[in-house]
Amino acid sequence: MAITAALSPLDINLAPPGGRASTTSSEVKKSGSSIQPRKQSDYHLIQKLTAKLTGSTLPSKTEPVPPIKSVPSAPSKTPVKKSSARPSKKILCSTPPVNLRNRKRGVEYDRGRQLGEGGFARCYLVQNKEGKLFAAKTVAKESLQSEKMQAKFFGEIQVQKTMVHPNIVRFVECFEDTRNIYLILELCPNKSLVEMLRRRQRMTEPETRLFMLQTLGALKYMHGKRVIHRDLKLGNIFLDEGMNIKIGDFGLAALLVSDTDRKTTMCGTPNYIAPEVLFGKKLGHSFEVDLWSCGVILYALLVGKPPFQASDINEIYKSVPKPPAAGMYLGAVAN
């Protein structure tokens, strides 16, 4: 049986990025900070961001942002999911054909270069016959052999389909060929906050404020639909052509059946994991885990590295503060 048979394709026209965060340019100007390109190749990106923040292009005189030595480190990037919904061995797709076809809808895409890869999927630049560019998140069917993995991936697709917000990656359609499943998504051509921070080492306060406003706006929307992302991190926050935040990768997302529902699966990415996920197994976790990750992201953007970081995962877990026994995080639920 076709693996996507259960999925009805959704024909969504991508809206132009709108609904931007409400930081005003005067607010930004008041703070007096400025944006520094680190490399010549960053110049156009920074210029766009500067224009967004200040309503002007790059200022001629800018205050240097003091560089710091540490940059976001490679370790602990891989999400953990103790219930093993994700395979321990990484099975990624091989390069897909140059022409991708949704036979049901008669839509075709020309495949271009690889945009990136995660623990589960590779993503390619694709172009439809009208010349519009998209991202094709490509998952090898071989990695979906267990029912649990299939259910998990279908969960990701279903959640992604329902997310319609200017700061969340838009779902376009989904189809398959003999080897892979393709999720056609809104293209985020400016990569993720990981690459941004790697180039810049750290962001200024006005930049961080805008990124956080957009991220929190998207989270408010997501939580309003009872969806917890559970893997918010620099690498899953993408940037569109206007340098707007686009939250993506709903691979670990959970849909709560009610506002009081709790999840108990330990999942997330070590640097970003909330204490109640690590230590509150009995009482479970809810929307707040995403806010914890936002705190980590905020710190990382300003300081240049996440607050809890070590080469050994257990050392990271040790450094995450334990919730008090009666539960700073869990008390409200326990009572």
- Report, as residue numbers or ranges, the catalytic residues: 231
Of 14-22, 110-118, 146-154, 314-322, which part binds ligand ADP (CB under 6 A)? 110-118
- The answer to whether 160 touches 172, Cβ cutoff 8 Å, is no
Token pair belonging to 88: 């321990």
Q: Are 263 and 222 in contact, with CB atoms under 8 Å apart?
A: no
Q: Indicate which single residue of 37, 72, 118, 166 sits in contact with Mg ion (rule: CB under 5 A).
A: 118
Closest CB 156 distance from ligand ADP, rounded Å: 8
Do 278 and 284 contact (CB within 8 A), yes or no?
no
By beta-carbon proximity to Mg ion, the closer residue of 190 and 236 is: 236
190: which 2 tokens? 């400016």
Query: Is 292:329 a contact under the CB 8 Å cutoff?
Result: no
CB 274 within 8 A of CB 293: yes
The percent of the chain in helix, strand and coil, each rounded to the nearest 5, is 30, 20, 50
CB of 249 to ligand ADP, least distance (A): 4
Only one of the segments 66-74, 182-190, 285-293, 311-319 lies at the binding site for ligand ADP (rule: CB under 6 A); that segment is 182-190
Map tokens 């054909």 to a residue.
Answer: 97
197 binds, among ligand ADP, Mg ion, none (CB under 5 to 8 A by kind): none
Q: What is the DSSP string of 63-74?
A: PPPPP-S----S
Q: Which is nearer to ligand ADP, 235 or 268 (CB)?
A: 235
| Separation CA 241–CA 307 (nearest Å) | 29
- Out of 52, 81, 111, 137, the only residue in the binding site for ligand ADP (CB under 6 A) is 137
Residues 192-231, one symbol each (x = binds ligand ADP by CB under 6 A, - = not), give: x---------------------------------------
- Rule CB under 6 A: is residue 119 a binding residue for ligand ADP? yes
What's the min distance (Å) between Cβ of 55 and ligand ADP? 27
Site mask, ligand ADP, residues 146-175, x = CB under 6 A?
Answer: -----------------------x------
Bridge partners, 255 (sequence order): 227
Rounded Cα–Cα distance for residues 68 and 200 (Å): 10
Task: Return d(Cα 120, Cα 324) in angstroms, integer.
Answer: 35
Does residue 188 belong to the site contacting ligand ADP (CB under 6 A)?
yes
x/- letters, 264..303, toward ligand ADP (CB under 6 A): ----------------------------------------
Kindly indicate which of the ranges 15-23, 95-103, 186-194, 204-212 contains the residues binding ligand ADP, using the contact rule CB under 6 A.
186-194
DSSP character for 96?
Answer: P
The C-alpha atoms of residue 310 and residue 322 are separated, in whole angstroms, by 17
Report the interface residues with ligand ADP, using CB under 6 A. Answer: 115-121, 123, 135, 137, 169, 185-188, 192, 235-236, 238, 248-249, 251
Report the interface residues with Mg ion, using CB under 5 A. Answer: 118, 236, 249
